[in-house]
Structure 1
């Protein structure tokens, strides 16, 4: 089976496990009531979907009723007819991003980082410290919300892997590997505090989480790099491009 199909099936399986998912026509929607970020609220078309104009209007209405941006994240080859239909309905492409994957045979463990310790958060203070690093590293203001903390707790207690990195005892980074589905796990939320960047912290955390997921009988771990420089870091620990994802949304009405 094609690796791209496996990744899309993994995403769909996790979305269906969410108590807040919704099916509208040929679309599976994952909503987060406590986390308004567009990256936590999106739809996925069913395989080979050919949505009608009415179904797209119903999709948009479902998002707007929940005060969320109408948005989709999916692999174009999964449902080739969907993108033209969305564009005709006024949606705009945000970007197309590569997806990378790593197997146990490919993983390269990076060298040690002075003063670095990577561990599993064991109490609420450590979960908060990790969420704060992620929140600020991704350019968000204020404090992390319930949705961000809830995602970390759910991942940690639901069979995924969560890691907090400290340098000389100070929170420096972290991330998570998702709960297994379809034999895969997603590496997500990898973040490093500004003062600790370019020291190898991100590579170390990513390698630890990838190894942990693979040790738990995942066939492979995949991820979406935020930018080209980050992609190069993942490539150094064994990740390789396998497909491309489309992010597409309906601009907010003025």
Structure 2
């Protein structure tokens, strides 16, 4: 299972990047508007040293791109210590998976649906997610519909165009929860063959503690399972956030690492 997850995470950036080998890493060079990262080659079984991290640092400097790494801690436990020794900031997050038999649909007092490639709705959805990650955690926060609408109006046109293009190509699938106030929670899944990852699930901070994040996650899982996927994965910000996903049927299998 962990090997399958690692293989998927190595394939999914290719919808927006080209791969270049740098020592024991694959450096994903972005072809879109956001940066990607380097990952250790799955199955290589090498011990990462600080010098390997420096090779990527040098190449990123040549390309004038940010230096960052993502990996599955359980398949490459040496990368975290090597990255720290090279002066990078390292974090680990719970890594969870869900298989069809474990799925427990969640509902909330909101309409949840997969989104069309419609600019106005995509703007609202992205604004909700940005505000959610701006006030991280699960506690009820301050940002509400007014702040969402202001943030949606300020989103860069090239970002919105990229999101719409990815939706049109099927490399990302967006879902949202709606109330009479519009979009109040949103998220995405990214299918590659029979595996998909749920990313960027966020609830408008003022609307938290209503089960909306779990309901959006449930809608994304249901769409994935109905369209050829039999394994869904995600990494959670914290154990508290992981508990939200566990209510839908996810279980923890390891940790996802990130360094920059």
**Counterpart in the other structure of 2:141:** none
Q: How many residues align?
A: 241
Aligned to 1:133: 128
Q: 1:153 to 1:134 in 2, by over 3 A?
A: farther
Aligned to 1:96: 92
Q: Work out whether residues 117 and 167 of structure 2, in 8 Å CA contact, stay in contact via their aligned partners in 1.
A: no
Shift of 1:115: 4.2
Partner in structure 2 of residue 252 of structure 1: none
Structure 2: runs of 5+ lacking an equivalent:
136-149
> Residue 203 of structure 1 corresponds to which residue in structure 2?
214
After superposition, the C-alpha distances for 1:136-158 in whole angstroms (9 at most, x for unaligned) are: 21118964443476246414522
Q: Is the 8 A contact 1:156 1:162 kept in 2?
A: no
**Matched residue of 1:199: which SS?**
coil
Which segments of 5 or more consecutive residues in structure 1 lack a partner in the other structure?
250-254
Q: What is the match of residue 70 of structure 2?
A: 73
1:162 counterpart = 2:162: no
Does the CA-based 8 Å contact 1:22-1:28 persist in structure 2? yes
Aligned ranges 1:119-198 → 2 under 5 Å: 119-139=114-134, 143-145=154-156, 146-147=158-159, 150-151=162-163, 153-168=165-180, 170-181=182-193, 183-198=194-209
How many angstroms apart in 1 are the aligned matches of 2:16 and 2:110? Answer: 38
2:17·2:31 contact (CA, 8 Å) conserved in 1? Answer: no
> 1:189-229 deviations in whole A, cap 9, x for unaligned?
11111232111111111001011111112121011112222
Write the mapping of 1:7-46 to structure 2, written as runs, cut at 5 A: 7-32=5-30, 35=33, 40-46=35-41
1:235 aligns with 2:242: no
2:101 matched to which residue of 1? 105
Q: Is the 8 A contact 2:117 2:164 kept in 1?
A: no
Contact 1:116 1:166 in 2 (8 A): yes
Query: What residue number does 1:4 align with?
Result: 2
| Further displaced range: 191-200 or 4-13 | 191-200
- Distance, in Å, in 1 between the alignment partners of 2:131 and 2:245 is 21
8 Å CA contact 2:100, 2:231 repeated in 1: yes
SS in 2 for 1:73: strand
Query: Structure 1 129/92 Cα, relative in aligned 2: closer, same or farther at 3 Å?
Result: closer
Question: Do 2:60 and 2:67's aligned partners in 1 also have CA atoms closer than 8 Å?
Answer: yes
1:133, 1:171 within 8 Å by CA — same for their partners in 2? yes
Matched residue, 2:232: 221
Structure 1 contact 135–144 (Cα < 8 Å) conserved: no
More displaced stretch, 98-107 vs 55-64: 55-64
Q: CA RMSD in A?
A: 2.6
C-alpha distance in 2 between matches for 1:96 and 1:123: 35
Inter-partner Cα distance in structure 2 for 1:64 and 1:117: 43
SS of 1:105's equivalent?
helix
Contact 1:210 1:221 in 2 (8 A): yes
Q: Name the TM-score, length of structure 1 as normaliser.
A: 0.82
Structure 1 stretches of 4+ with a deviation exceeding 6 A read: none
Distance 1:54 1:92 in 2: 16
Distance apart, 1:70 and its partner CA = 1.8
CA distance in structure 1 between the aligned counterparts of 2:184 and 2:112, rounded to whole angstroms: 10
